[in-house]
Amino acid sequence: MRVGPRLSGVLAFAVLLAVVVATAWGQQPHGHRPATAPAGEFSAERALRTVEAIASRPHPSGTPEHDRVRDLLADDLRKLGLDTEIHSGVGRYPAALERDVVGMAQVGNIVARWPGSAPTGTVYLAAHYDSVPSGPGANDDGVGVATILEAVRALRASGATPRNDLVVLLTDAEELGLLGAEAFADAGHADPRGGVVVNHEARGAGGPPLLWRITHPDGDLIRTVAGIPHPDTDSLSTTLAGAQTGSNTDFAALDPTGLRVLDWAYAGRNAYYHNPFDDPAHVSLATVQQLGDNTVAQSRAFGDRDLANRADDDRAYFSLPFGTLIVLPLWLIAVLAVAALIAAGWVVRALRRDGEASVRRVLGAAATALLALPVAMGATYGLWAAVVAIRPEYRPLFVDPYRPESYYAAVLVLCVAVLAAWYTLARKLFGPSAAAVGMLCCVTVLGAGFTAVAPAAAQALVVPGFFAAAGVALTFSIPAPWRLPVLTVFLTPAALFLGATVWSGLQTGITGAPFLVAPSVVLLGGLLWFPLTHAWPKRRAVLIPAAALVLAVALAAAGLAVDRFDDRHPLMSQLAYALDADRQEAQWISRQPPDHWTRRFVESGAPRGQFADLWSETVAAGPAPARPLSAPVAEVLSDTTDSGHRTIRLRLRSTRGATALALRYDTPIHTLRVAGRDLTPAPKQGFQFTAPPAEGIDVELTAPAGPLALRVVDYSWLPDSGLADPPPDIFYRQDSAAAVFATVKGV
C-alpha cells in the first residue's frame, strides 16, 4: 500500500486538517446586516432593538415587567398589521412529563395572524417571551421573539403574499415548564388542517443555530430545510435529541397537537444561559442574522407549499460547508454500509495478496482501534472530572464555564493523544498497513452495525467510511503518482464530517464531549491518519502522543488560570428562605452544597421535619430568623363527605403578593381541579401555580373520607425579599425563593 513518500504524506494530512478547521470555522456564524439594510431584508441590528426593548430586565411570569413586555410585543405585532390577540388560560406541565408537584400558571399567549391567500394550513413562528427570574433572557428567548418580529416585518416589506396562514405564536411561561404552549395545545388552538411550527430557542449566547429536534417522519420537512441559507442539522443529532427527554422546549408541548415542529436553538457561550448577563450586550449579531435568514426562508417556503401531511418517511441528512444539506433515503445508507464493508474486505485481501499484512494482523489492529474508543471517552470524561475536582465551583454550572475555549482545545488534543498512542502501538504490533486498514475496518464494521439499529444516525460513520474504503481500494489499481491525491480526495468526507462535529459538538457542552466528540476524533480522525502511513517516524514515535498529552494538560491548566469567577462572571448559587407561619420558625435551604456565599446560611445536611417534606432534593440547611412575612391563606369554601368520599373546595391566596402559590399533601388524593383545569390523576404531592390572580385560585379535590393534612405555600423571588442580598460575584439560580407556608385549617 504505497501512498506517496514521506513529505507528500504529511502535506496531504495537513490539507485534510485544513479542511477540518475550515469546516468548523465556516459553520460558525460570521457577519450581519446593519440597520440600514433594505427594508425587505432581515437585519440583525434591527432585531437587536427589540431585544433591547424587551430584555433589559428579567420578565418572568407573574411580574409587572412580564406584563409590560407582553403588551409591548402585542402592540408591535398590531403595528405590523397582524390580527393580534392575547389568549389567556391556565397551563400545566404537559402530562407526559410526570412530576410529583405539577407546575401550573395563569398564562397569556400572544397569537398574531397573517391570513394566507389560499391556505392549506398554518405556519407558526414560535418563541417564548417570558424569561427566568435570574436573568433578562436576551438570548433565551428575546432573540427568538425579536427574530420572528423582524422576519415578519421584512416579509411584509418585501410584498410577500403567502398562500398559507402565518401565525406568530409567542408563548408564555415556557421557563416554568412549557405552560403557555401546553395551554395553547389544550385549548385546541392548533390549526385542525395541520401546519408546521418553526420554534426558536437558545441555550447559550452564540454559535450556529442548529435544527436539533424535529417531528418524525421528517423527510418532507427536511427537504424544505435543505433549501434555506443555513441548514445546520444532521440526522445523528435529531435522532439523539428525539431519544432524549430531559431537555425540553415548547416542542414537547406542541408535538402532541399533530402539528409538525422544527426546533431550532443555538448553544454556544452557554455560561450565559439563565444568567444575569444574558443581556442585550451578550447577543451575537452574527447568530441572530443566521437565525433570521433561516426564519425568513422557512416562512416563504412553508408559507407557499401545500401543508397537507403527506405519507412520508425518515431521511438521513448532514450538512456540508456553504449551506448545503445532503438528504438521503435510508436504503441508500444501508447500501453504502454494505458497499463500504465489501471495499474494506477487498482492501484486506489485496494487502494479503501483496504480502503487506495478514488478515490476523488487520483484525488485531481493528480490535485495538475499537478499544481506543472507550479509552478516549474515559480520558475526556476524566479530564473534565479532574478540572471540576480542582475547581469545585464548576459543579453547579448548567453547562460550561464562561471561557471554555482552552478546555475545548484540551479535550480535542487529549482525544488526538489517545488516537496517536493507539496508532503508535498498532504500528508496532501489527505493522503500518495493518494499523491503517484496521481503523478502516473498525469504522466500516461499526457503521454497518449502527445501520442495522438506527440508519438515520449511522450516516455519520457510513458516509465517510464508504468514501475512505473506496479511496483506499482505488489506490491498489491506479498508477503510483495518482494514489495519494486520489486517497486525499476520498478522505475529504471524513474531514468534513469531523469538522462539522467537533467544535459545534463541544459548544453544546463539555460534559457531552465523551459521547460525541471523542468517538468522532478517534474514528473519523483515525481515517485521516492514512496519508501518514509512510511519514510516521520510525524511532521515538511515542514522543508524538506524549507531546499531545502534555499539551492537553497545559491547555486545561491554562483554562483554570484564565477562567475565574468575578463581578462580570458571577458564580451561581441556590438558596431558599422558608418560614413556617404556624410555628414562626424559619430555615435556610439549598439544593447545592454550600459555596463561599451560602456557607454563611447553610451547612451540608437535609433540613428538619416539615421543611424536608416541602423541599425535597435539598443537600444543605441552616437556621434562619423568623421574619414578619404574612402567610398565604386557604379559605375552605365547602367540605362534604358522601359514601366514603370527601370533597373539599378551597380558595388559595397570597397575602403578600407572592408570584406563586402551592398546595401540598402527603396522602393520596383521588381527583384535583385547579383554576378550572382538571389534574386527575392527581399528582403525588400537589401543584405549584405561578401568576395567580389577586383574588386567588379555586381548588376542588376529592380524597378518601377521614383526616387530610394540607399545606398552602407561597413563593417570591429571593432577591426581591431583601433577606439575603448576594455580593456582585454571585447570582441566584432561578429556583431561589422566599417561601411562607401554613397548615390549611378547618379541614
Interface ranges with Zn ion (CB under 5 A): 140-141
Tell me which residue has its CB nearest to Zn ion: 140
In this complex, which beta carbon is closest to Zn ion, that of residue 140 or of residue 400?
A: 140
Report yes or no: 742 and 653 within 8 Å, Cβ to Cβ: no
10 Å CB burial of residue 727 (0-12, 13-18, 19+) is exposed
In this complex, which beta carbon is closest to Zn ion, that of residue 264 or of residue 717?
A: 264
Q: Are strands 83-92 and 101-114 parallel, antiparallel or unpaired?
A: antiparallel
In this complex, which beta carbon is closest to Zn ion, that of residue 264 or of residue 466?
A: 264
CA distance 456 to 450: 9
Q: Are strands 315-320 and 324-329 parallel, antiparallel or unpaired?
A: antiparallel
In angstroms, the Cα distances linking 258 to 47, 200, 302, 307 are 31, 19, 16, 12
In this complex, which beta carbon is closest to Zn ion, that of residue 145 or of residue 494?
A: 145
The nearest distance, CB 550 to Zn ion, in angstroms, is 41
CA distance 371 to 368: 5
In this complex, which beta carbon is closest to Zn ion, that of residue 184 or of residue 741?
A: 184
The nearest distance, CB 75 to Zn ion, in angstroms, is 23
In this complex, which beta carbon is closest to Zn ion, that of residue 140 or of residue 172?
A: 140
CA distance 622 to 619: 11
In angstroms, the Cα distances linking 192 to 166, 168, 301, 313 are 14, 17, 20, 22
The nearest distance, CB 121 to Zn ion, in angstroms, is 26
The nearest distance, CB 144 to Zn ion, in angstroms, is 7
In this complex, which beta carbon is closest to Zn ion, that of residue 248 or of residue 592?
A: 248
Helices 513-527, 359-390: axis angle to 10 degrees equals 140
Helix (H) or strand (E) holding 720: helix 718-721
The nearest distance, CB 285 to Zn ion, in angstroms, is 19
Identify the three-state secondary structure at position 38: coil
Amino acid at 163: R
In this complex, which beta carbon is closest to Zn ion, that of residue 46 or of residue 128?
A: 128
Other Cβ atoms within 10 Å of 467 Cβ, number: 22
Quote the DSSP letter at residue 398. Answer: S
Other Cβ atoms within 10 Å of 582 Cβ, number: 13
The nearest distance, CB 105 to Zn ion, in angstroms, is 15
Q: Where are the alpha helices (DSSP H) in 28-136?
A: 44-54, 64-79
The nearest distance, CB 65 to Zn ion, in angstroms, is 17
The nearest distance, CB 274 to Zn ion, in angstroms, is 9
The nearest distance, CB 118 to Zn ion, in angstroms, is 34
In this complex, which beta carbon is closest to Zn ion, that of residue 185 or of residue 333?
A: 185
Copy the grid coordinates of residue 332. Answer: 441508500
CA distance 211 to 233: 5
In this complex, which beta carbon is closest to Zn ion, that of residue 266 or of residue 423?
A: 266
Say how many Å lie between the first and final Cα of the chain, rounded. Answer: 85
The nearest distance, CB 701 to Zn ion, in angstroms, is 32
